[in-house]
Amino acid sequence: MKIPQGSIKSRMKDFIVRTYLGRKDAPLGDGDSFLGEGIIDSIGVIELVAFIQETYNIKIAVPEIIPANLDTLDNLERFIIRKLSGL
Amino acid sequence: MITRIGQLISHAALHRPGAAAIIEAQSGRMTTYGELDRKVGIMAAYLCSKGVVPGDRVGLLSGNSAGFIAAYFAVSRAGAVPVPLNITLREDALIRQAKICGIRAIYHGRLFADRAAAVASAVSSVRFLFDDASGPRSGGVREGGGGGAPATIIFTSGTKGEPLGVMLSHRNILSNAAAVAAYTGLCPSDRILCVLPLYYIYGLSTVFSHFYAGGTVIIENRFAYPNIALDSIERFRATGFAGVSSHYSILVNHSDIRSRKLRTLRYMMQAGDAMPATVTRSLVRLLPGKKLYLMYGQTEAGPRLAYLEPRLAAAKPDSVGKAVPGVTIKIAGKRGECAPWQVGEITARGDNIMMGYWRNKRATAKALKNGWLHAGDMGYKDDDGDIFITGRLSGLVKIGGQKADPFELERVAAEYEGVAEAAAVPVPDRLLGNRLHLFVSPVAGAKIDGKALKDHCVRRLADYGRAVDVSVRASLPRTGCGKIDKNTLEGYR
């Protein structure tokens, strides 16, 4: 699956600001921690995982639900690219 | 004898100053009872030096932290009334609560300085903001109460989105803490992993009951990653865990709990909403030998009213058991107390029942009648006297353990341009217990973008706005007398 450069991050950002911040223009930096900034809670992470699985047709295993994969836009982009590459 | 909640700390500090009161899991930082007592004293002196007097209401706007707990008890030691504020509320709702209470000062956590300042600028009674770095100042602390002032005020939702400030006295809180400590057998070596927000009574009550026993509260703010929470149970040798049903559903379905031993864990507490029987049975199977307490309560009861004996959890997963020590529960029908299996309203009496709602005589009179709390929940007792909850009288819906008001959602949706009518119905959800499905119809010629309408709702509602799904229909069905037919709408889902 070929993904255009930057599209993962913008799609994830759109989902997160719409779902958790409630407006399109909410400030959210690529390195901002969703947890540290109080943006996302336990239900939110489960919703985020479901959204990624559905959007990119990938399966995320329980051990992969960790901040290093999911807690910033940068981490999300790296993680999704890695999954799509089958690594 | 402990008669004020502040004494929970000073008593432990006197007898076991080096014992851990709080551990912050992320940093591993421990605060002993001695240190906590000193922090509370310094902050209380600061508040007094700033003119806070007994009976004043002081808001707390912060995530869970040792600082929040110190500030809560400092406000109390200064004789004032701590009012925890829900950090997920939108600014206008926070302002409304601050105005209702006439809040005098606001403690804020690191991330909430801007929102606290916005509330302060809109509420004339707020004189100053403070945080962990505030003080110390010279001057003593005026111990003692503020006359008939409550020990705390906790906001809950009434019907039609009306915020109600539940006033709990020192006796309310301490009697309930003692009851919880007694039926769970808490002792000084107990350590609860606290993932529940402390602006709700359920979270606060775990602090009260564990401080009552001289135990430890482990603050874990990373339950979003449930395996981290399990790591913390093991790392900090937690003996207890408290959550709403979605916490347990996440642990069962989205964590590696199956491969964990959790050797130190002795008890798990569940309350806030009804836990699906499948989740209860999974927990019993996955964690044999751990006690699972299925509990029932509400803010107005400080909060605990009933619990099911852990040995019955698998056999009666839909029951909330019997009244906690010191509480009497009756199922009230039209002709007095109901017989077993007869459905009526849950009513309760005991030292834990609230003083009333802050400056709201009408709502207080509706909830408290002849010393009995009318809980607003329907239910029945079986032949053993175990209680089963069957629904709510008020129409409020529990989403992720929090009360949500379909009427409030309808009102917010109706403000959106082009909406002619709006109706919200609850929908069962595996993770959250319920979601709300909003149906709207447009005014003639208007076009409604469902996604944009959802954004509008998320911006204006508390956290539960996320759990809203939207459908746009040309028109909404009607009953014979012309009302929107919600029963039919439920069939549209």
DSSP track, B354-371: --EETT-HHHHHHHEETT
Q: Who wins on pLDDT, B14 or B397? A: B14
**Which band of pLDDT confidence, cut at 50, 70 and 90, is reported for residue A47?**
confident
User: Chains A, B: CB contacts under 8 A, how many?
Assistant: 65
Counting residues of chain A whose pLDDT is more than 90, the rounded percentage is 43
Mean pLDDT within A52-80: 93
B45, B135 contact by CB (below 8 A): yes
Which pair of tokens denotes residue B289?
Answer: 């030998």
Q: ω into residue B136 within 30 of 0, thus cis?
A: yes
- Tokens 């009230």: give the residue: B332
Residue B349 has pLDDT above 60, yes or no: yes
Which pair of tokens denotes residue B95?
Answer: 């302002």
**Which band of pLDDT confidence, cut at 50, 70 and 90, is reported for residue B148?**
low
**Which band of pLDDT confidence, cut at 50, 70 and 90, is reported for residue B390?**
confident
* CB contact set of B367 (below 8 Å; sequence gap of 6+): B300, B354, B356, B357, B373, B374, B376
CA angle B453, A14, A45 (to 5 degrees): 95
Residue B481 has pLDDT above 90, yes or no: no
Compare CB distances from B466 to A19, A24, A49 and report the shortest one's residue.
A19
DSSP B159: G
CA angle B274, B276, B277 (to 5 degrees): 115
Q: Which of B45-49, B149-153, B302-306, B487-491 has the lowest mean pLDDT?
A: B487-491
Q: Which of A22-36, B223-237, B413-427 has the lowest mean pLDDT?
A: A22-36
Average pLDDT over chain B, rounded to whole? 91
B358, B153 contact by CB (below 8 A): yes
- As a whole number of angstroms, the distance between CA B411 and CA A43 comes to 25
Test A23 with B455 for CB contact under 8 angstroms.
yes
Test A62 with B224 for CB contact under 8 angstroms.
no
**Integer angstrom CA distances of residue B82 from B99, B135, B332:** 15, 18, 34
For chain B, how long is the longest CA-to-CA vector? 73
- As a whole number of angstroms, the distance between CA B116 and CA B130 comes to 10
Compare CB distances from B254 to A24, A62, A70 and report the shortest one's residue.
A62
What is the DSSP track for chain A? Answer: ----TTHHHHHHHHHHIIIII-STT----TT--TTTTT---HHHHHHHHHHHHHHHT----GGG-SHHHHSSHHHHHHHHHHHHTT-
Q: Who wins on pLDDT, B390 or B238? A: B238
Test B459 with A22 for CB contact under 8 angstroms.
yes
Q: What is the pLDDT of residues B209-265, one digit of tens each?
A: 999 999 999 999 999 899 999 999 999 999 999 998 889 988 998 899 999 989 999
Within B80-204, strands assigned E span: 81-84, 105-108, 128-130, 152-157, 163-168, 191-194
Mode of pairing for the β-strands spanning B57-61 and B105-108: parallel
Counting residues of chain B whose pLDDT is more than 70, the rounded percentage is 95
pLDDT score at B136: 63
Single-letter amino acid code for the residue at B287 = L
What residues pair up with B193 in beta bridges, in sequence order?
B218, B241
Residues written for chain B: 493
DSSP B42: H
pLDDT score at B304: 97
Of B193, B191, B220, residue with least CA distance to B26:
B220
Residue A34 has pLDDT above 60, yes or no: yes
**Which band of pLDDT confidence, cut at 50, 70 and 90, is reported for residue B139?**
low
Residue B142 has pLDDT above 70, yes or no: no
- As a whole number of angstroms, the distance between CA A68 and CA A72 comes to 8
Q: Pinpoint the alpha helices (H) of B105-215.
A: 113-122, 170-184, 201-212
B280, B245 contact by CB (below 8 A): no
Q: Does B411 touch chain A (CB under 8 A)?
A: no
**Integer angstrom CA distances of residue B301 from A60, B220, B349, B350:** 42, 26, 9, 9
Q: Which residue is closest to A19 within chain B, CA to CA?
A: B466
Q: How many CA atoms lie within 13 A of B423 on its CB side?
A: 17
Q: What is the pLDDT of residues B458-467, one digit of tens each?
A: 888 877 777 8
* CB contact set of B38 (below 8 Å; sequence gap of 6+): none
Q: Which residue is closest to A35 within chain B, CA to CA?
A: B222
Q: Who wins on pLDDT, B111 or B136? A: B111
**Which band of pLDDT confidence, cut at 50, 70 and 90, is reported for residue B8?**
very high
pLDDT score at B492: 63
Single-letter amino acid code for the residue at B320 = V
Test A44 with B255 for CB contact under 8 angstroms.
no
**pTM reported for the whole predicted model:** 0.86
Test B256 with A62 for CB contact under 8 angstroms.
yes
- As a whole number of angstroms, the distance between CA B71 and CA B61 comes to 10
Chain B stretch 419-438, residues whose beta carbon is closer than 8 A to a beta carbon of chain A: 431-432
Average pLDDT over chain A, rounded to whole? 85
Residue B352 has pLDDT above 90, yes or no: yes
Q: Which residue is closest to A15 within chain B, CA to CA?
A: B455
pLDDT score at A41: 80
- As a whole number of angstroms, the distance between CA B88 and CA A6 comes to 30
Residue B145 has pLDDT above 70, yes or no: no
* CB contact set of B261 (below 8 Å; sequence gap of 6+): none
ipTM: 0.79
Q: Which residue is closest to B255 within chain A, CA to CA?
A: A62
Which pair of tokens denotes residue B125?
Answer: 């009674």
Mean pLDDT within B20-47: 96
Q: What is the pLDDT of residues B61-99, one digit of tens each?
A: 999 999 999 999 999 999 999 999 988 888 888 999 999
Q: How far is A2 from chain B (nearest CA, A)?
A: 27
Test B455 with A43 for CB contact under 8 angstroms.
no
By three-state DSSP, how is residue B378 classified?
strand
Single-letter amino acid code for the residue at B396 = L
Counting residues of chain B whose pLDDT is more than 90, the rounded percentage is 69
Residues written for chain A: 87
Interface test with B, best of A23, A25, A43 (most B CBs within 10 A): A43
